[in-house]
């Protein structure tokens, strides 16, 4: 067991992408601050959230880059993707188009970063009836695209949020702790 002075820290940049208004900012706020803001405020360009987490006695500095989903910010994305260690692609269960755009988002980030560990979040599950939720397409896409996993989340209720973020954080930690 190493003492505190010897424990090394980790810095992970995690890029969060997806269409506008799917809940990217709200998910990050829910995870890092435990809060939810119901009024939609469009992200302009990108927002950064820093969060410290301890895993197995090691300090992990997490930088969440919340990239604006609107097309008018397309030109800025390559710069924002640089240095990403992982990505979260978010779609909304209340917006079929946002699901249809997952592949575009994946291809976009991959073209600048190569293959990264990616987790898919299906957000806003609090707004749909469980009986109407058809996960098959998301599960199949997760397998086809070799994503780490698919998580149903609600930034409003917090349902699934902790587990979803932990999946990507633990994956990064385990990948880099051996180096």
Average pLDDT over the chain reads 90
Q: Which residues does 106 contact at the CB level (< 8 Å), separation at least 6?
A: 89, 118, 145
Tokens of 110: 């991959």
Say what the pLDDT of residue 8 is. Answer: 67
At 66-96, the pLDDT tens digits run 988 888 888 888 899 999 999 999 999 999 9
* Res 2 pLDDT > 80: no
Q: Which two tokens stand for residue 64?
A: 């969440």
For range 47-60, the mean pLDDT: 91
Any idea where the domains of the chain sit in the sequence? 10-176
Q: Could you confirm whether domain 10-176 is CATH 3.30.70.20?
A: no
Q: Which residue has the higher pLDDT, 176 or 6?
A: 176
* Nearest residue to 18 via CA among 82, 73, 88, 86: 88
pLDDT digits (tens, 9 = 90+) for 111-165: 999 999 999 999 999 999 988 888 999 999 999 999 999 999 999 999 999 999 9
Q: CA-CA distance, 82 to 86, in Å (whole number)?
A: 11
What was the pLDDT predicted at 19?
96
């Amino acid at each position: 067991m190493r003492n505190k002075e010897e424990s090394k820290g980790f810095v992970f940049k995690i890029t969060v992408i997806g269409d506008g208004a799917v809940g990217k900012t709200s998910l990050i706020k829910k995870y890092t601050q435990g809060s939810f803001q119901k009024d939609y405020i469009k992200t302009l360009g990108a927002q950064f959230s820093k969060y410290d987490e301890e895993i197995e006695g090691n300090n992990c500095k997490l930088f969440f880059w919340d990239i604006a989903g609107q097309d008018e910010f397309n030109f800025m994305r390559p710069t924002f993707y640089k240095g990403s260690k992982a990505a979260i692609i978010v779609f909304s269960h209340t917006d079929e188009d946002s699901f249809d755009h997952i592949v575009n988002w994946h291809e976009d980030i991959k073209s600048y970063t190569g293959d990264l560990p990616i987790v898919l979040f299906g957000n806003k599950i609090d707004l749909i009836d469980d009986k109407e939720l058809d996960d098959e397409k998301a599960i199949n896409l997760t397998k086809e695209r070799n994503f780490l996993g698919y998580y149903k989340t609600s930034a409003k209720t917090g349902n699934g949020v902790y587990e979803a973020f932990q999946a990507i954080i633990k994956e990064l930690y385990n990948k880099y702790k051996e180096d």
